[in-house]
């Protein structure tokens, strides 16, 4: 009887260790979310709606989700004055964000973008696990 309990506990411990190992391996393969942030100055006071619609459509097609902050209010809490406008996009990964910003699609928007906004700074931030 004692042998059966020992065998059952050993089997149970093995299953638990295996489950933890599989979970750890699965987590290692998961890509981390990323956010692209663009600090911009809108040249017309507000963003061009047609341009925004076209860009948002392409961002969504490339694994991104716009948080629709471009016309939102930016409020200073600490440090130097904030930019007049900020665009934030959530991406499935840094790789997806970089692929979009290096794509022909993004390059094709350059002329229209330059007419509507002046980009002060654009960067990507990866989340932690």
| CATH of residue 118 | 3.30.70.100
Number of domains in the chain: 2
Are 48 and 90 found together in one domain? yes
Question: Where does residue 91 fall: left (phi above 0), alpha (psi -120 to 50 degrees), or beta otherwise?
Answer: beta
Are 73 and 86 found together in one domain? yes
pLDDT tens series, the chain, 129 aa? 566 656 555 555 555 566 555 555 445 567 899 999 999 999 987 778 888 999 999 999 999 999 999 989 999 999 999 999 999 999 999 999 999 999 999 999 999 999 999 999 999 999 987
Are 24 and 38 found together in one domain? no
pLDDT value of position 91: 97
Are 26 and 41 found together in one domain? no
pLDDT value of position 1: 59
- Identify the residue whose tokens are 């619609």: 53
pLDDT value of position 49: 86
Which runs of E-coded beta strand occur in the chain?
34-42, 64-66, 85-91, 117-126
Strands 117-126 and 64-66: unpaired
β-partners of residue 122 are 38
Are 23 and 38 found together in one domain? no
Are 16 and 49 found together in one domain? no
Predicted TM-score (pTM) of this structure: 0.73
Are 39 and 92 found together in one domain? yes
Domain range for residue 25?
1-30
Are 101 and 79 found together in one domain? yes
Rg (C-alpha) for the chain, rounded Å, is: 23
β-partners of residue 65 are 90
């Amino acid at each position: 009887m004692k042998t059966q309990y020992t065998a059952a506990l050993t089997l149970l411990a093995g299953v638990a260790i295996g489950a933890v190992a599989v979970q750890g391996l699965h987590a290692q393969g998961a890509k981390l979310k990323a956010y692209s942030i663009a600090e911009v100055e809108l040249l017309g006071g507000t963003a061009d709606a047609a341009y925004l619609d076209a860009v948002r459509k392409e961002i969504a097609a490339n694994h991104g989700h716009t948080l629709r902050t471009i016309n939102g209010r930016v409020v200073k809490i600490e440090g130097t004055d904030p930019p007049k406008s900020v665009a934030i996009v959530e991406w499935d990964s840094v790789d997806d964000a970089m692929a979009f910003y290096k794509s022909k699609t993004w390059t094709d928007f350059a002329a229209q973008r330059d007419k509507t906004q002046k980009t002060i700074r654009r960067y990507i931030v990866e989340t932690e696990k």
